[in-house]
Structure 1
Amino acid sequence: MTNAAGAISDAHMPAKMRISQATKIYQTKSGGVHALDNVSIDVREGEFLCLLGPSGCGKSTLLWSMAGLHGLTSGEIRLGSDVITKPHPEIAMIFQEANLLPWRNLGSNIELPFEIKKQPPNRELIKKLLKRVGLEGFENKYPRELSGGMQQRASIVRSLAVDPSVLLMDEPFGALDAFTRDEMNLLIQEIWMETGKTIIFITHSIAEAVFLADRIVVMSARPGRISTIVDVDLPRPRPVKLQTTPEFLERVEAIKGMIDHRPAT
């Protein structure tokens, strides 16, 4: 299976990111909380991978560990030969909220990662990305002047402006209305197909996962383990109307039956 960027998403592709026996136990005053248990995944070069599972199954813990923002209790995460224990220049993350600083305009919010790294901003790339996501001309607007969808578009530009090879997305469209969410799903699919970047995307929506993913990692209730991995063999580009077709709905129903909401005992 190939995407429009020419990236091949099959089992023969080398691993871009390798998660090996990832286990995370949070220590609290009332005792340990076992969030992840022995999770191993090879994320392929250039694929769109979705993490799906019930609330509290450790999806965000796993993603934040991939970003180098959470340490593991045991196991490891590698990007190529690098063990991820802290933020990595090849990895960018988009959170559930856009997290734009209210006292900075859109342009200066997007340039913030360059300031943190003490690097000159890539204004040519930023300009291209702003045009691509429909925010050209909004550089001097403040977050309060932008809709939720526009703010998330800005957060996508901010992440892509540093030109990462891996983009981690933690339920970035969950708070948006259905129409805007469809627009954003189309946008991120198009950007992925154009750039060939590796994307790992968390969602609670089975339909969103089927629409976006090459593969869906279905996780169990806490402690998070891998229940199954589903290949999504729908052709690309995928239009919104695909979600009303029998083949799409069949896949959604099949995955719904795979999700176990019962916590381990």
Structure 2
Amino acid sequence: MKKNTERALNVRGATKTYRTHSGEVHALQNVDLTVRQGEFLAIVGPSGCGKTTLLWSIAGLHRLTSGAIALGEEWITRPHPSIGMMFQEANLLPWRTIRQNIELPFEIRRKRPDAGRIDRLLQRVGLDGFGGKMPRELSGGMQQRASIVRALASDPTVLLMDEPFGALDAFTRDEMNKLVEEIWLESRKTVILITHSIAEAVFLADKVYIMSARPGRIARVVDVPFPRPRSLDLMESRAFFDLVNAIKHEIHHQPSVQSAVAKAV
């Protein structure tokens, strides 16, 4: 087995076809990508292009029709303890406390929770003292902070994020984006973010993968040239605006991304 620092995530020829009552739906077609250990990657594309299908396949929650996914030398065909995931909703069980929700994945795997790590993560995301609260006692942003803790509590190598902040207001979303970058800079986890917000993708990621309309394929990969750490003021800069706008145009089949990257450097 390779060392953890060498555990790149590789997707090769990922193809997914759903069979429905009205016929076959081709969600993904020959998707290839490699995510280096510690890299932050975002995936954007038109609605229905297969972004979430791809992410759930990487998580081991969907089986591919053809192709393969590997973390280092391990094939991913089912949920893996080295891969954590945040969903579109916090998905906290209303009858369990915040801490009990965080510990649930450990219970499912019949593992003892790392209480010290959970305490540190709760403090890091600003939820120190909220472990005994019920989900209804927390705001939407606080619930998503708890979801981050749950995803990171087992210290996974890879963190998958499926549009986790889409339901939050703009101010809270900006706060969460900054928090995610700070945690990533501290932990250097491998992160794959699915988002409909191109600005969010550019602010957080090292690379932005643009997917085509269904069946989803990788249409282009854009390197994000902005140094880290990134201030929220970056979003008001002309270079940031130009890159976001260029990616938006690329999604609508207007090939202007590379010139915008050159201007941003």
Q: Which category of TM-score, normalised to the shorter sequence, fits these structures?
A: over 0.9
2:19 equivalent to 1:27 = yes
Residue of structure 2 in register with 1:78 after alignment: 70
Q: Which runs of 5+ in 2 are unaligned?
A: 254-265
Residue of structure 2 in register with 1:211 after alignment: 203
Inter-partner Cα distance in structure 2 for 1:52 and 1:258 = 11
Residue of structure 2 in register with 1:172 after alignment: 164
State the Cα RMSD in Å.
Answer: 1.1
Q: Which runs of 5+ in 1 are unaligned?
A: 1-12
Residue of structure 2 in register with 1:100 after alignment: 92
Identity %: 65
**Pick from 56, 59, 62: which aligns with 2:48?**
56
Residue of structure 2 in register with 1:182 after alignment: 174
Cα offset, 1:152, TM superposition: 0.3
8 Å contact from structure 2 (residues 6, 72) kept in 1: no
> Stretches of 4+ moved more than 6 A in 1?
none
8 Å contact from structure 1 (residues 36, 222) kept in 2: yes
Residue of structure 1 in register with 2:193 after alignment: 201
Residue of structure 2 in register with 1:145 after alignment: 137
Residue of structure 2 in register with 1:65 after alignment: 57
Cα offset, 1:134, TM superposition: 0.3
Number of corresponding residues: 249
8 Å contact from structure 1 (residues 54, 259) kept in 2: yes
Q: SS of 2:12's equivalent?
A: strand
Residue of structure 1 in register with 2:246 after alignment: 254
Inter-partner Cα distance in structure 1 for 2:32 and 2:245 = 25
Inter-partner Cα distance in structure 1 for 2:54 and 2:7 = 17
Inter-partner Cα distance in structure 2 for 1:14 and 1:226 = 24
Letter in 1 for 2:121: L
Decide whether aligned partners of structure 1 residues 85 and 193 sit closer, same or farther in structure 2, where only a CA change above 3 A counts.
same
Inter-partner Cα distance in structure 1 for 2:115 and 2:219 = 43
Cα offset, 1:256, TM superposition: 1.1
Q: SS of 2:203's equivalent?
A: helix
Superposition pairs of residues 95-134 of structure 1, within 5 angstroms: 95-134=87-126
Q: SS of 1:258's equivalent?
A: helix
Cα offset, 1:233, TM superposition: 0.8
